[in-house]
Chains A and B, each alone.
Chain A
Amino acid sequence: MPLRLLHLALIALFALVWTSGCATYSDNVRDAHSAVAQSHPERAVKLLNTQLQLKSSKRLPMEFEDDNVLLLLERATVLQAMGEYKLAARDMMAVDDHLEWLDLSSTGADDIAKYMYSESSKQYRAPAYERLLLNTLNMINFLAMRDFQGAKVEARRFTLLEQFFLDNEEPALLSGILSVGNYLGGAAFEHSGDYQQAARYYSRAYHYGFRAPQFRDRLVDLIWLTGYKPRELQAEEGKEALTKIMEAVDINEEISFDEYREQYLKGDTLIIVQTGLVPWKQATRVPIAQAMSYSHGSHYHSFDNDQETRLNMMVANGVIESVNFPMLTTIGIPADKPVVVKVDGAERPSTGNVDVSSQVQTAYAHMVPSMMVAAITRLMTRVVAGEATEAVVNQTGNGGLGFLAKLAVEGAMNAADKPDTRSWMTLPGRIRIIRTQLGPDVHPISITVGNESDARQVMIREDSLNVVNFSRLR
């Protein structure tokens, strides 16, 4: 190949790698994300359908590859906000079949790096909190449709994943999410007449932080009725669990199933208010000193001595200056606003209030050290590959071309090293639950989020659980 042709080929290669820097997931979803933040779910759904290349929300994508699974999850969340529970449930069920998770405890640093960078992360891998919230939000869809069978299936799926993650993660990282998922599962089983299972789910909800006084009384009566023993929790904790609750059960007044139903299940109404948005991932250049400090403290991954030495040399020589990394950001997220819920014109306090955003930040902070080890290891490999290419080409006597080839290799790797910014961006930042009992009539139920309001006239059935979801106003 003549020298000029060689130069041309290299220039073509540069052009190719630099123009292949596609928009990231968060770039693509930004407009829909912004529409949700501004409480315009209809606009968000249109934008998401455009991304999915679908004409209508009635349709599912033909392929569940690349970003489609996550885009479908975003659409489901927005459809739920619009009250389209059947479509939202269908989308979430489809997502559930295709959404795998990133288990840091059993994944090597090389594989973590593959999932972190767009080059090879074909299928999105969700962190634990997203997997658990998928079943939690789908429970809301089924409960809102009074499909308790469907809600129970979602509750069982939640339990399967809960057990899986409790084996690998710190329960404290996910306590809020575990409490709300178990609480909704308890409601599904309770209104199906499966009181033993309801006691199990409610016990876990209480254990993980649902502590409203009226809920405590309900749990004590239910445990007294069913004779449920929290042995599962004791085994997980390695010590006595729910000691105060069990003491209260021991001295509880007698109650029959009919009295329980009358006292707790008649006109039982759950008002769920989902506001705000969780932090999302943005590609960020993290200075190497900061990146190295982030890489300490991983439970599962660390540099060996050779890697540590090589890294320090590269940093000292100025070869590595920063790491391109997916960091959480709160840009464009609505501020945490005051929320007022009124039933029949009277304000009602929350039974439960889960700060999902904090849970996401805590859980992600727990993942960052492992991810940073993987990212830095990958960066070192890239630098070594560039240096090796330069040396090989220079050996052939093509002075100058070696440097070009090195840049081409590093450029190609840089383009490929775009951090994977995929995450469930439309997740609510906070979930509030208000539980009350209402008579069999139409009741005005309204919420105010900041200075916006949403009001409904809700027909209450006395013999069923009534679920009212508000997630339009963020």
Chain B
Amino acid sequence: MTAVNEQLLPVVAEIVTGLKHKPGALLPILHEVQNRLGYIPPDAVPLIAESLNQSRADIHGVISFYHQFRTTAPGKHTVEVCRAEACQAMGARQLEAHAKTTLGVDYHGTTSDKNVTLEEVYCLGNCACSPSVRINDEIVGRVTPEKFDQLIDELRSQTLEVL
């Protein structure tokens, strides 16, 4: 167990205590852990398992089943590119290739400056103004490669302001 993860465990414990009374509490717990920490640290699994009276394998099985949950820290921003049919009809395949080249990573990868994690998504429901990407909780429509670069530049300049 790393020192960093030890610091995270009290947060996990607090989340579990707050939510475990809910019927079918596991997904709400995993969502909240990922919301607060950015990912689900593997060290959180035994703690969640014990609180819900389930096996570690059960918890791991759920985490690994869903595309959303991750067990490593993501970049500062998550960028999801829609791969579904409506976006394909408007050039999503080219946009995907462009996104991977521009960021220098494949899906589930994080840029070397830890700023952006690239993910795939199957439909954001913005199908009449496709192709679409989601940047954190913001969805953007009619994304051309040029617009994609502009959006990424904005994310990079935001990081500089914070620093």
> Do A and B come from the same complex?
no
Residues of B near any A CB (own CB < 8 A)? none
Residues of A near any B CB (own CB < 8 A)? none
